[in-house]
């Protein structure tokens, strides 16, 4: 049996290795159009490679995928995060679980993962061809595939596994074989805010905020938020960008964004806390913050918006002003003014329609013998190792085959 894997990333290598493990006599060729394989693995996680996430319940794991989560529940029963960790450690890569449940190599170097995959490919005699793209794939009358490479060679394969990520060329190959593509758009990004006073707080981080956007179907996201010189970043913003990726895109990244600076406090709790300070504090509002969770610079900014006069003392604050501050603390509105960048991840939502893929085997429902793995599918996870786990799981199933 001859198999051609198109794409030299995480999903491609894992698919090829697993195919050889499950079918030792197969001739497996992995082709990569660029001169370097596993480039995304190398630079991921700030160069440390967030291999997976230490969540070992398939349903809970699936909850971290804005698109494709339901489809992955079954595959996670076959190959989940614990299996990923066991596999890499059996191959000699020591892993560690950090406080936030992200999993990294103990070496803190993505090269450990790169070297492992390259070594396993060599051990299992996967042929790896670089500087070798694919121009066309044609299904023959015999049910095989005629694969034309950019160097002019034509190979007849019994199976083809597409693992080309968010490459337009990969989508074109899938379409040529009868598949429909959900339009790809960015996921995982930061948001620009046109508020000079807010941007003056660049570097301020809040440990726990709530974020939501008007009109988005997604629930509010929680987590740390970082104010940057262009707007909002940090885990809460990145998660919201994934869940509301299509709403942001359709609105040209100009949506009404609501920030809850005190997501664990009820409105009544905030009002009572402010009333205590109105009765007991003799200091100015700007210099006496009732909420320890809020950084001083942020509090000063909010007081300025709230009172216009930060020198006002607590005892001079009216009931109307107190209600205004409560509103700001629970749901302060901002208009997003465009998409920023998030350099540690490169994730796209969209891709091959999930309805057209059998998630028990990752085989195409419209073109037998064609398989998919990784980001070429309309599957994307939030940051934290989930997108790599999608690559390992779908790569395992595509390699195992039916």
pLDDT tens-place string over residues 98-147: 999 999 999 999 999 999 999 999 999 999 999 999 999 999 999 999 99
**Cα torsion at 114, 120, 123, 124 (round to 10°)?**
-130
- Where do the CATH 3.50.50.60 domains begin and end in the chain? 2-186+347-400
Q: Which helix (H) or strand (E) holds 171?
A: helix 168-176
Nearest to 273 by CA among 261, 285, 291: 291
**Contact predicate 127/30, CB 8 Å:** yes
Record: fold of 2-186+347-400: FAD/NAD(P)-binding domain (3.50.50)
Asked whether residue 191 carries a pLDDT value surpassing 80, the answer given is: yes
Averaged pLDDT, 216-235: 89
**Contact predicate 1/20, CB 8 Å:** no
What confidence score (pLDDT) does residue 311 get? 87
The rounded distance, in Å, linking the Cα atoms of 337 and 34 is 35
The rounded distance, in Å, linking the Cα atoms of 232 and 236 is 9
pLDDT tens for each residue of 21-56: 999 999 999 999 999 999 999 999 889 999 999 999
Helix (H, G, I), strand (E, B) or coil at 7: coil
Please measure the distance between the N-terminal and C-terminal CA atoms of the chain and give it in whole angstroms.
14
Average per-residue pLDDT for the chain = 95
């Amino acid at each position: 049996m001859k198999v051609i894997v198109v794409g030299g990333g995480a999903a491609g290598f894992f698919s090829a290795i697993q195919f050889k493990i499950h079918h030792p006599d197969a001739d497996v060729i992995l082709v990569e159009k660029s001169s370097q394989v596993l480039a995304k693995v190398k630079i991921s996680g700030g160069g440390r490679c967030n291999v997976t996430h230490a969540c070992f319940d398939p349903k809970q794991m699936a909850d971290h995928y804005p698109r494709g989560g339901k489809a992955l529940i079954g595959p996670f029963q076959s190959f989940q995060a614990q299996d990923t960790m066991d596999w890499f450690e059996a191959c000699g890569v020591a892993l560690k679980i950090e406080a936030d449940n992200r999993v990294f190599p103990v070496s803190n170097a993505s090269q450990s993962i790169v070297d492992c995959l390259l070594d396993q490919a060599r051990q299992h005699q996967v042929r790896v061809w670089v500087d070798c793209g694919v121009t066309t794939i044609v299904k023959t009358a015999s049910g095989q595939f005629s694969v034309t490479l950019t160097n002019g060679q034509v190979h007849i394969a019994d199976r083809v596994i597409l693992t080309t990520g968010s490459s337009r060329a990969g989508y074109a190959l899938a379409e040529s074989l009868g598949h429909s593509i959900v339009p790809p758009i960015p996921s995982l990004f930061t948001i620009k805010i046109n508020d000079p006073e807010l941007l003056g707080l660049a570097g301020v981080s809040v440990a726990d905020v709530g974020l939501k956007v008007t009109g988005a179907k997604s629930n509010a996201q929680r987590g740390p938020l970082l104010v940057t010189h262009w707007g909002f970043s940090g885990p809460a913003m990145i998660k919201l960008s994934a869940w509301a990726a299509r709403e942001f895109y359709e609105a040209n990244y100009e949506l009404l964004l609501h920030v809850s600076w005190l997501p664990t406090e009820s409105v009544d709790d905030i009002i009572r806390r402010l009333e205590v300070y109105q009765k007991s504090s003799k200091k100015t509002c700007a210099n006496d913050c009732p909420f320890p969770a809020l950084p001083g610079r942020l509090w000063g900014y909010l007081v300025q918006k709230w009172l216009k006069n930060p020198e006002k003392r607590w005892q001079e604050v009216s009931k109307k002003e107190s209600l205004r501050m409560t509103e700001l603390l629970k749901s302060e509105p901002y208009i997003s003014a465009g998409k920023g960048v998030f350099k540690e991840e490169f994730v796209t939502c969209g891709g091959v329609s999930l309805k057209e893929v059998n998630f028990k085997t990752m085989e195409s429902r419209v073109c037998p013998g064609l398989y998919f793995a990784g980001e070429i599918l309309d599957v994307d996870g939030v940051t934290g190792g989930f997108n790599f786990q999608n690559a390992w799981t779908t790569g395992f199933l595509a390699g195992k085959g039916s």
